[in-house]
Amino acid sequence: MDVNTEKFKTEALKALNDSTSRSFLDFFLPVLSMVRDLGLSSFPDPVAAVEKARAIRHNAVSRLGDLLETFEKNAIKLGTKVYWARDAEDANAYIMDLIRTNKVPYVTKGKSMISEEIGLNAALEKNGVPVFETDLGEFIIQLLEKPPFHIIGPAINIPPQDICDVFMAKAGMKNPTTNPVELGYAARLFLRDKFKHMRMGITGVNMVVAENGTIINVENEGNIRFNKSAPDIQVSVMSLEKIVPTMEDAFHMLRMLCRNGTGQKLSAYVTMDRGPKKDNDIDGPRELHLVILDNGRSRIYENPRTREVLQCIRCGACINICPVFRHIGGYPYGWAYTGPIGKLLNPLFLGLDRTSDLFGACTLCGACKKVCPAGIDHPEMILYFREMNMAGNRMLKGKGSRLSQKIIATCAAMAASHPGIWHRGTACGRAMIRRLGPVGQALLSWTRHRDLPPLPETSFRDRVKPD
Amino acid sequence: MSQNTRDRILNRLKKAGTMTPDMHVELPPLPHAMMDSDELVQSFILNVTAAGAEVHHVEQGQDMSNILTEIIKDTELTRFIVNDDTVFKHLELDIWAAKQGLALIRASEFNDRRSYTDAVFDVGTAGFTTVDYAVAESGTLVIGHHQGHARLISLAPMIHIVLVRTDQIVPVYDDVIAQGLFNDEGPSQVTWITGPSMTADIQATPFKGMHGPKRLVVLLRK
Ligand code: SF4
């Protein structure tokens, strides 16, 4: 997947001027947040339910190594072939190798964030293997060659006319229509043929269960079920943190994931794989491969300040509530992950230097942290990134600060720790800013994206000081 | 390559180790855990209906015939594919199907995967299955897939009809764990179905039958 995180500001400006997408964001995201709240209200104690989920994720991540080892043992016992992939290239090469060995003519895919992360489609297409996304939204954006707009509705903002045009051109649709339901059925017809003749299906993984080797997927359309039922070979790709210790934990996380994502008690289909099909089963995959992907996560894990991000279950609740995302949508984030969780994951995978506008564009309002069922403190990590970026942290690829910034920071630190200098400095600053006037202010880079309200003649402190 | 990678990853994770003590949270049980059997049935019906399924009560074979006759009216259905369960024989489904001119085939009767796939993907096919359990807390149907219960019959057809006995309804998901579906020799896949296939991916317009069944019809019998 192309990395466009450095275009964040220009893309955000474009998004702010896109009235179609804006009207969707204004309507769709508050509805999703509302159905989430409604969904959670079906628990006898919604606060405890969220706390329980946070505890499950915290405990699972803190014992990650042991859990993965137990899971692997149990999964292998069930006949699952486990492959540990160091990075994107390693994972893609393994899948490509399976395709070659089994002479697979094309592959179909269920929606998965991780395949965006590793750029699987591009890697397969480069090797001449056609790839068909089968989630409706993903299918549409694949044909339109666009990035996902939203984690749950990747194509929710696309006008029906654009979908009609691309379906006529690339998906065999005969009669033009802008009716969403008819467009959906056209996609059903086209993809049904792919499902019927498929040899290999590729999916992501929502979670795996250490105690018994189960692999779990959650969806509403049924495309993931097809990808796991119709082909000879199933390839599931999981990021290594998607694990819970027990089935009981898995059930609680399923309750939370579905309620937080779409407000449903449970999504239409939850499938739990227990190895490949048995010899006499008429359908199901003959081979079940599970790729466990690191791609830098074990490094993220080593740092106590970033480890928490691995608790995420990709429910989307933080994205729907974020005031920044609600204005700009998903395109400006420029890579696989968007919204508050994108502001944490993209910098960790790509480096702080290429993503500083992402974690810069945050007011630290904390709405994300408040809704997160996985217990992630987004604002805290964003502040850490800002600090490490200025400090030029090598592990996280921080940019470092310019000489002018260093001088300003040193002076500010000195002033802040010496009250005399501070008072004289602020009095001088006030006088200077008052004299600058609006024209002068416009020249300051600080005020380019912020308003500097007119300053009063005397400071608040002077006014309240007892005579 | 994978072995080296595996060892390197696991070593790194284990070395970094636990940094904070485990968190413990006690949860009050869901109300379903305290319900009697009638309340469970009611709760199941409420939830499965909210998820978009149709529910019909059947007392005897005749009720079922009437409902099925209604379902197939104005459709192009030519066959029902069912899982292996003696209840279909007991309810004389074969006699009803023969009267309607419909073929009734068990998925396990197909000799090869190709002809099974052709049949199950055919527009004239409806899937008719039983379940292992149904869960009241969300109106969910639980099916373990094995030789006698193929995966695609509840997925590929436009209509999935499902027979649920009221004594198969359990309060919450956790009640299913202990029942053998998750033994090592158990089914290769366990599917949890809550409503028909659906999407709202275009303009947030919801509709049923995106890839799987458009109609999920639950026949509930004592
Ligand atoms: S970080 Fe966001 S997407 Fe991840 S679990 Fe928390 S709320 Fe959900």
Instruction: Write the residue in B13, B24, B212 that is nearest to A55 by C-beta.
Output: B24
- Is B18 among the domain residues? no
Domain of residue A433, residue span = 419-463
Of A165, A198, A231, the residue that ends a domain is A198
pLDDT of residue A442: 65
For residues A402-417, average pLDDT:
89
Taking CB atoms and an 8 Å limit, are B25 and A48 in contact across chains?
A: yes
Shortest-distance Cα residue to atom 2 of ligand 1: A318
Shortest-distance Cα residue to atom 4 of ligand 1: A312
pLDDT tens string B51-85: 999 999 998 778 889 999 999 998 999 999 999 99
Say how many Å lie between the first and final Cα of chain B, rounded: 57
For residues B154-168, average pLDDT:
97
Residues with CB under 6 A from ligand 1: A 312-318, 341, 371-374, 376
Q: Roughly what angle, to the nearest 10 degrees, separates helices A352-360 and A8-16?
A: 30
**According to the per-residue pLDDT averaged within each range, which of A202-216, A394-408, B179-193 is highest?**
A202-216
- Is B80 among the domain residues? yes
Query: How high does pLDDT run on average in chain A?
Result: 94
User: How far is it, in rounded angstroms, from Cα A28 to Cα B204?
Assistant: 8
- Is A430 among the domain residues? yes
pLDDT of residue A443: 64
Shortest-distance Cα residue to atom 6 of ligand 1: A372
- Is B15 among the domain residues? no
CA–centroid distance, residue B118 to ligand 1 (Å) = 41
Could you tell me if B159 and B102 are in contact, meaning their C-beta atoms sit under 8 angstroms apart? no
DSSP, collapsed to helix, strand or coil, labels residue A436 as helix
Could you tell me if A313 and A207 are in contact, meaning their C-beta atoms sit under 8 angstroms apart? yes
pLDDT tens string A444-463: 666 777 777 777 878 888 88
Instruction: Write the residue in B20, B146, B211 that is nearest to A281 by C-beta.
Output: B146
pLDDT of residue B99: 94
For residues A38-64, average pLDDT:
97
Segment 6-25 of chain B within 8 Å of chain A by CB: 6, 8-10, 12-14, 16-20, 22-25
For residues A111-120, average pLDDT:
94
- Is B123 among the domain residues? yes
CATH number at residue B163: 3.40.50.10420
For residues B207-216, average pLDDT:
97
Of A157, A173, A198, the residue that ends a domain is A198
> Is the predicted pLDDT of residue A236 greater than 60, yes or no?
yes
pLDDT tier, A429 (very low <50, low <70, confident <90, very high otherwise):
confident
**Can you count the helices (H) and strands (E) in chain B?**
7, 12
- Is A181 among the domain residues? yes
pLDDT of residue A307: 97
User: Which of A174, A230, A180, A240 has its CA nearest to residue A202?
Assistant: A230
- Is B175 among the domain residues? yes
pLDDT of residue A450: 73
- Is B62 among the domain residues? yes
Query: How high does pLDDT run on average in chain B?
Result: 94
Q: Give the distance from residue B127's alpha carbon to the nearest chain A alpha carbon, in angstroms.
A: 15
DSSP, collapsed to helix, strand or coil, labels residue A434 as helix
CA–centroid distance, residue B28 to ligand 1 (Å) = 24
Q: Give the distance from residue B91's alpha carbon to the nearest chain A alpha carbon, in angstroms.
A: 25
Q: Give the distance from residue B10's alpha carbon to the nearest chain A alpha carbon, in angstroms.
A: 5
Taking CB atoms and an 8 Å limit, are B25 and A52 in contact across chains?
A: yes
pLDDT of residue A454: 75
pLDDT of residue B44: 98
- Is B117 among the domain residues? yes
A34 inside 8 A of chain B by CB: no
User: Which of B144, B118, B146, B148 has its CA nearest to residue B131?
Assistant: B144
pLDDT of residue B74: 87
Of A198, A222, A250, the residue that ends a domain is A198
CA–centroid distance, residue A315 to ligand 1 (Å) = 5
- Is B17 among the domain residues? no
Contacts 24+ apart (CB under 8 A), A144-150: A147/A1, A147/A330, A147/A331, A148/A116, A148/A330, A148/A338, A149/A21, A149/A329, A149/A330, A149/A331, A150/A28, A150/A316, A150/A319, A150/A329, A150/A330, A150/A338
Segment 53-112 of chain A within 8 Å of chain B by CB: 54-55, 58-59, 62-66, 68-69, 72, 77-78, 83-86, 90, 94
B177 inside 8 A of chain A by CB: yes
Give the residue, out of A51, A318, A337, with the most ligand 1 atoms within 8 A of its beta carbon, to mutate for a pocket test: A318
Shortest-distance Cα residue to atom 8 of ligand 1: A315
Alpha-carbon separation of residue B61 from B2, B71, B104 (angstroms): 57, 15, 16
Q: How many domains does chain A have?
A: 2
pLDDT of residue A284: 97
pLDDT tens string B80-137: 999 999 999 988 999 999 999 999 999 999 999 999 999 999 999 999 999 999 999 9
- Is A454 among the domain residues? yes
- Is A156 among the domain residues? yes
> Is the predicted pLDDT of residue A123 greater than 60, yes or no?
yes
pLDDT of residue A72: 98
For residues A30-59, average pLDDT:
96
pLDDT tens string A275-306: 999 999 999 999 999 999 999 999 999 999 99
Domain of residue B156, residue span = 36-221
- Is A327 among the domain residues? no
Chain B hits for A277, CB-CB cut-off 8 Å, are: 188-189
Q: How many domains does chain B have?
A: 1
